[in-house]
Amino acid sequence: MLPHILAFLGVALFPSALAAFGIYLTTETIIDPKKRLTALLVLWALAIDAIVAVGLQQVSSYKADIRNEEKQSELQGKLDKSLLGQVQLGGELNNISVDAWEDCPDE
C-alpha cells in the first residue's frame, strides 16, 4: 500500500502545487472580480478532477496488485502440491526398484 500512496503523492501532490502557483499567476492578470472568480473556480475544478482521477487510478492499481498476488499465491500452491506429488512418486518408484532388485536371484 505504501508504494501506491507514494506514487499518488508524487503524481498528484507535487504537480498540484505547481498548478496552484500557475492558477495564482493566471488569475492575477484578470481585473474583473467576477471573471477572476470564474477562472479560479474552473482552474481549481480541473486540478481537483485530476487529483481524483489519479487517486482512482492508484486505487485500481492497488486492487489489481492484490488480485495478482492472490492468483500467484494460488498457482504457487498448485505448483508446490504438484512437486510434492512428484517427489512422493519418485520415492515410490525407488522403493519398487529396490524391492525388485532384492527379489532377483543371486548368480
pLDDT at 77 over 80: yes
Report the C-alpha gap between 17 and 11 in whole angstroms: 11
pTM for the model stands at 0.58
Report the C-alpha gap between 39 and 31 in whole angstroms: 11
pLDDT at 104 over 70: no
pLDDT at 105 over 70: no
Spatial neighbors of 89 by CB under 8 A, at least 6 apart, are none
Helix/strand number for the chain, H first, E second: 3, 0
The domain limits of the chain are 2-102
**Tens digits of per-residue pLDDT, 37-60?**
998 888 888 888 888 888 888 889
Phi, psi (degrees; rounded to nearest 5) at 105: -70, 145
Please state, rounded to an integer, the average pLDDT across all residues of the chain.
Answer: 82
pLDDT at 106 over 70: no
Using DSSP, state whether 104 is helix, strand or coil. Answer: coil
